[in-house]
């Protein structure tokens, strides 16, 4: 439904512009289209994603990693949503550098961030299992340290719906995962396999960066005969050609295509030459680093 609605809106840009001559009809059309979504993607910087999470019952919003705060707030204003909550996945500047500015724009803003991650302007430090609400929307914290010492993901359950959305920052990417900057392979294993991979397969996944095409090129190197990887790679290439974000993914898609979630698969173990799953994960990460530098693997 989300993909089809986005396609309709993209294909209808000229008619929508012409609707401005009909005044309230254009506003009503756009408002109805927007309310089909609870999550709005806001591309920022070179390849980052910020997000707006809408609670339509209260017309309030949470924003995720709004590193360009004016841009994110302007989009929320277009949607007639009041930003009350800021969710920071981790402390790296390209995710948290907009916090102080957003707090100055919205003084009563609640700013959430992982415990011990030194999040700018934080008002609520959170850890595993902590939960809070945005109107009728429930937000639960998954504590996923490794990329940074206090990295967190946010699992959002939308009101009156069975589906959920996971905001993963730099822990999980589409077909990839973050560097183990401040942690260990065991910590990333716990985050990816013991926490994220156990979520319902239909859970939507919203990541921190548009790294999808390169990640899938590597995934194809790991599992050249995997038809799911081949199909997702074709999808990513189409998205690049049309300048369309590849998010959201789903947990089901990631389990089928992401080598960092497929470390128990014989094909991935064969690729690494290892059997222990934590060692397999570490070796896939090492080989991905080499692949990113253009090395033959």
Report the catalytic residues: 90, 92, 94-95, 147, 170, 209
Report residue 104: phi and psi, to 5°: -70, -30
Here the tokens at position 73 are: 């707030």
Burial of residue 156 (CB within 10 Å: 0-12, 13-18, 19+) is: buried
Closest-CA residue to 140 (of 109, 116, 164) = 164
Closest-CA residue to 82 (of 61, 99, 68) = 61
Burial of residue 102 (CB within 10 Å: 0-12, 13-18, 19+) is: buried
Distance CA 142, CA 144 (A): 6
Distance CA 171, CA 151 (A): 8
Structural contact between residues 51 and 41, judged by C-beta atoms closer than 8 angstroms: yes
Here the tokens at position 255 are: 């389990």
Here the tokens at position 218 are: 């590597």
Distances (CA, A) of 185 to 93, 146, 179, 189: 23, 8, 10, 6
């Amino acid at each position: 439904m989300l993909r089809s609605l986005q396609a309709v809106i993209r294909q209808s840009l000229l008619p929508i512009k012409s609707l401005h001559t009909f005044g309230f009809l254009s506003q009503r059309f756009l408002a109805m289209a927007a309310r089909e979504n609870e999550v709005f993607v806001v591309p920022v910087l070179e390849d980052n994603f910020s997000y707006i999470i809408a609670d339509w019952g209260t017309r309030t919003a949470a924003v995720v990693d709004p590193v360009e705060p004016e841009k994110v707030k302007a989009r929320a204003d277009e949607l007639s949503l009041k930003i009350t909550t800021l969710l920071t996945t981790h402390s790296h500047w390209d995710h948290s550098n907009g916090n102080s500015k957003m707090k100055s724009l919205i003084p009563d803003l609640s700013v959430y961030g992982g415990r011990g991650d030194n999040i700018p302007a934080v008002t609520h430090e959170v850890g595993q299992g902590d939960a809070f609400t945005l109107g009728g929307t429930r937000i639960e914290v998954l504590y996923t340290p490794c990329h940074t010492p206090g990295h967190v993901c946010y699992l959002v359950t939308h009101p009156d719906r069975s589906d959920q959305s996971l905001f993963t920052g730099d822990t999980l990417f589409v077909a990839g995962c973050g560097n183990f900057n401040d942690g260990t392979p065991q910590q990333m294993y716990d985050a990816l396999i013991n926490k994220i991979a156990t979520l319902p397969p239909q859970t939507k996944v919203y990541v921190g960066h548009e790294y999808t095409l390169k990640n899938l090129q590597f995934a194809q190197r790991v599992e050249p005969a995997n038809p799911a990887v081949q199909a997702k790679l074709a999808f990513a290439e189409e998205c690049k050609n049309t300048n369309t974000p590849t998010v959201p993914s789903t947990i089901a898609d990631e389990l089928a295509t992401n080598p960092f979630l497929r470390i128990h698969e014989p094909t991935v173990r064969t690729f690494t030459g290892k059997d222990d799953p934590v060692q397999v994960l570490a070796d896939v990460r090492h080989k991905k680093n080499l692949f990113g530098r253009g090395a033959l693997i």
